């Protein structure tokens, strides 16, 4: 009995914290790097199988954020004539809450049978002090990678523009390969405008007194719409970092290892000041520095002709958040609703340009009609004062047309009761004829005539012509789509071959890889170059019931091709991207 108990304890002690799904010599297991970790640490999960299979599906990491992976590795070895095969799918996870969390089952299909791993439990504790060993890769990344949110002004006035610039700092000791946005900031109480960055550029700067490289990831212009303390929620990025190790290759070059890292800019608090309480009556919320221009298309015209009067507010400030002052015209000038136009450009300094309202005015009578100056009131945050400015006066001269007094004279004449002054003549009346002259019309037989039968058959002939035309067009379109699909499939194979040949040349490799992915989509989804966007690709692949993991991997490859234009890439990343391209093209092709 003691021997049996000893053997049982020995068997339990050698079982690692991994779960096996076995059957007929096939082992499929989930292996985790540690069973207990802090909420600020990263967990590695490997799904390992000893026989090649298809349709691998990871579990739903609902309590974790995937910060790295999937990474795929294959091992083949022959020992004493016996082959050993191993294939692993690796994920790097960051927990999003504390407690006992579960990693669900992964599945894979081998020889038409489905194999599953068992769920794995992980205990997540509070934040822990990270290892400060300079040889530890996580410590090196923490010390050399930082995301900073720079705010131009932390205490603006209401509706005063501020800018937020997100900079990713990294020391020359490490290489940043891939960057992806996880959580975007929310600007609940702000009017916001994202300034597009056409291309990320690596620049030199300093962070806490040390020399760093940095890229500007995002630029935002904000106009606070509420007074008080406003919170800007943080921006989080998923970054893949190549960290040098103490190992060297055969040629003496330092070997790099890739470490996934999530960096956060942190919350920023903005204290918004209210505008002074002595606002003039005509103030409508304009904050900045402006001028007003009042112009007219013409100042001399005839009655019943029209002119355009334009009120333009020009300058820098919250131009899209207020309206131009209304035009007040004399009653003798008929005024129509204005046509609004905006010419506003947004930079880190805020909005600048002009807004304008154009009124159409039509004079009714002859004479001169002055249009009073237009008043515009705004708040200048530089001087902390309200300012009132006026436009110039415009005088409209109507050269020809009825006088405004002639209508009164006509009314007086018509109201005179002296009927003797009215002279009646026979030509003033038109009499109705009471005798009618009829003309006889000879009848014509249209029924059963040749034109009758032609008009009867004409709709039938038109229907047959339209049916033939649409059939011909359908066949022609299908041939064109088939030709485009076959040609794009050939191009995908061609460029993927070019990418394999160019593994040692980063620029050529990623250009060929992007072309291969593009032509694969054209062959399978008939997607044109003009539709080649990540959102459209997700939608089309989702409509084809493609697995979410395959779609995410395909989008990540496209992003890697974009990032490769302005970020360095190691041989490890290039080889991994090529293997992932082979994998995702094969998987999507099978699913379609």
Element (H, E) at 377: strand 375-380
The per-residue pLDDT for 87 is 87
Global pTM value: 0.53
CATH number of 16-125: 2.60.40.1510
Look at residue 414 in the predicted model and tell me its pLDDT.
35
CATH topology of domain 480-591: 1.20.120
- Give the position of tokens 């190691």: 570
Q: Which helix (H) or strand (E) holds 90?
A: strand 82-95
Q: How far apart are CA 8 and CA 3, in angstroms?
A: 9
Directed axis angle between helix 548-563 and helix 571-591, to 10°? 140
Alpha-carbon span 408 to 498, nearest angstrom: 91
**What would the DSSP string read from start to end of 283-352?**
--S-BEEEEEEEEES-SEE-TT--EEEEEEEEEEE-GGGS-PPPP---TTEEE-PPEEEEEEEEETTEEE
**What gap in Å lies between CA 355 and CA 291, rounded to an integer?**
11
Report the CATH fold assignment for 288-398. Immunoglobulin-like (2.60.40)
Q: Are the CB atoms for 176 and 155 separated by under 8 Å?
A: no
Q: Which tokens sit at 28?
A: 């499929």
DSSP code string of 455-471: HHHHHHHHHHHHHHHHH
Write a three-state SS string for 189-224: CEEEEEECCCCCCCEEEEECCEEEEEEEEEEEEEEE
- Residue ranges for the chain with pLDDT beneath 50: 1-23, 405-429
CB atoms closer than 10 angstroms to residue 115: 20
Compute the CA torsion angle 330, 333, 334, 340 (nearest 10 deg).
-80
């Amino acid at each position: 009995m003691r021997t049996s108990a000893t053997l049982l304890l020995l068997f339990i002690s050698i079982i690692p914290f991994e779960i096996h799904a076995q059957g007929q010599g096939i082992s499929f297991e989930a292996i985790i790097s540690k069973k207990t970790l802090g909420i600020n640490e990263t967990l590695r999960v490997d799904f390992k199988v000893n026989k090649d299979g298809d349709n691998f599906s990871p579990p739903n990491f609902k309590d974790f954020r995937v910060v790295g992976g999937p990474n795929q590795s294959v091992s083949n070895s022959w020992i004493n004539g016996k082959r050993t095969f191993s294939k692993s799918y690796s994920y790097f996870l960051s927990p999003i809450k504390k407690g006992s969390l579960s990693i669900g089952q992964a599945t894979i299909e081998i020889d038409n049978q489905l194999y599953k791993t068992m769920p794995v439990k992980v205990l997540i504790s509070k934040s822990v002090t990270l290892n400060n060993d300079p040889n530890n890769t996580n410590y090196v990344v923490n010390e050399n990678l930082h995301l900073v949110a720079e705010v131009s002004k932390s205490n603006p006035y209401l509706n005063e523009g501020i800018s937020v610039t997100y900079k990713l700092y990294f020391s020359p000791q490490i290489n940043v390969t891939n960057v992806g946005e996880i959580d975007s900031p929310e600007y609940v109480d702000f009017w916001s405008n994202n300034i597009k960055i056409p291309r990320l550029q690596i620049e030199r700067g300093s962070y806490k007194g040390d020399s760093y490289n940095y890229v500007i990831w995002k630029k935002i212009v904000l106009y606070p719409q509420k007074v008080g303390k406003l919170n800007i929620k943080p921006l989080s990025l998923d970054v893949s970092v190549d960290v040098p190790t103490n190992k060297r290759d055969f040629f003496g070059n330092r070997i790099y290892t890739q470490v996934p890292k999530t960096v956060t800019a942190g919350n920023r608090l903005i204290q918004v000041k209210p505008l002074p309480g002595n606002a003039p009556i005509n103030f409508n919320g304009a904050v900045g520095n402006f001028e007003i221009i009042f112009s007219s298309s013409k100042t001399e015209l005839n009655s019943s002709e029209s002119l355009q009067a334009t009120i333009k507010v020009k300058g820098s400030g919250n131009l899209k958040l207020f309206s131009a002052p209304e035009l007040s015209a004399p009653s003798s000038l008929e005024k129509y609703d204005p046509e609004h136009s905006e010419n506003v450009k947004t930079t880190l300094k805020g909005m600048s340009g002009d807004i304008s309202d154009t009124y159409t005015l039509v004079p009714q009578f002859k004479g001169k009609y002055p249009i009073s100056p237009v008043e515009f009131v705004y708040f200048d945050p530089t001087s902390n004062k309200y300012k009132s400015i006026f436009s110039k006066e415009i005088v409209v001269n109507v050269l020809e047309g009825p006088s405004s007094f002639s209508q009164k004279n006509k009314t007086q004449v018509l109201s005179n009761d002296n009927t003797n002054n009215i002279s009646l003549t026979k030509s003033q009346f038109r009499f109705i004829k009471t005798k009618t002259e009829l003309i006889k019309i000879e009848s014509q037989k249209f029924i059963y005539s040749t034109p009758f039968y032609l008009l009867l058959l004409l709709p039938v002939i038109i229907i047959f012509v339209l049916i033939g035309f649409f059939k011909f067009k359908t066949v022609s379109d299908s041939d064109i789509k088939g030709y485009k699909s076959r040609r794009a499939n050939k191009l995908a194979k061609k460029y993927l071959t070019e990418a394999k040949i160019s593994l040692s040349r980063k620029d050529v490799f990623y250009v060929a890889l992007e072309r291969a992915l593009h032509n694969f989509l054209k062959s399978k989804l008939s997607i044109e170059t003009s539709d080649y966007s990540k959102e459209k690709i997700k939608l089309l692949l989702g409509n084809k019931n493609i697995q979410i993991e395959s779609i995410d991997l395909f989008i990540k490859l496209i992003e890697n091709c974009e990032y490769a234009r302005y970020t360095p890439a190691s041989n490890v990343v290039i080889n991994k991207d090529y293997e992932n391209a082979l994998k995702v093209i094969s998987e999507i092709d099978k699913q379609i």
